[in-house]
Structure 1
């Protein structure tokens, strides 16, 4: 991972952060800081990978792929988890 000193907020990234903020807000009047939203998104990604790995012994690969496949976590039948970013 390359470390950068600034985070460029494109319009699309701003919309995604706003939508994610709504998901973790305590109520409609809560406005969590961006760092909390980013921390929650990172934690969710890490936990999703762990959940997928744990489910591999219980469920068939097609079911896991149908439920867990996203634009971030790409699952191929009977192979590994890979990131589609970059």
Structure 2
């Protein structure tokens, strides 16, 4: 990962941030800072990977794949978590 000094907010990225902000907000009047929303999203991604790994001994691979596949986390049957983002 390269470090960048700015974050370009495209319309799509702003919509995602707004939606994520609503999820992170304590109530309808809370407006969390972008850093809190980004930290929550990153934490969720890391914890999701751990939850998937933990579930492997408890659930069959097809169930895990069916539930956990997203546009960011992709699972190949009986292998590893792979990043589908790029």
Q: TM-score range by the shorter chain?
A: over 0.9
Q: In structure 1, what is the Cα distance between the partners aligned to 2:28 and 2:55?
A: 34
Structure 2 residue 19 is the aligned partner of structure 1 residue 19: yes
Residue 66 of structure 1 deviates from its aligned partner by 0.6
Aligned ranges 1:7-86 → 2 under 5 Å:
7-86=7-86
Unaligned runs of 5+ in 2: none
Residue 85 of structure 1 deviates from its aligned partner by 1.5
Moved segments of 4+, more than 6 Å: none
Unaligned runs of 5+ in 1: none
SS of 1:45's partner is helix
Q: In structure 2, what is the Cα distance between the partners aligned to 1:7 and 1:13?
A: 10
Count of aligned pairs between the two proteins: 86
Partner of 2:2: 2
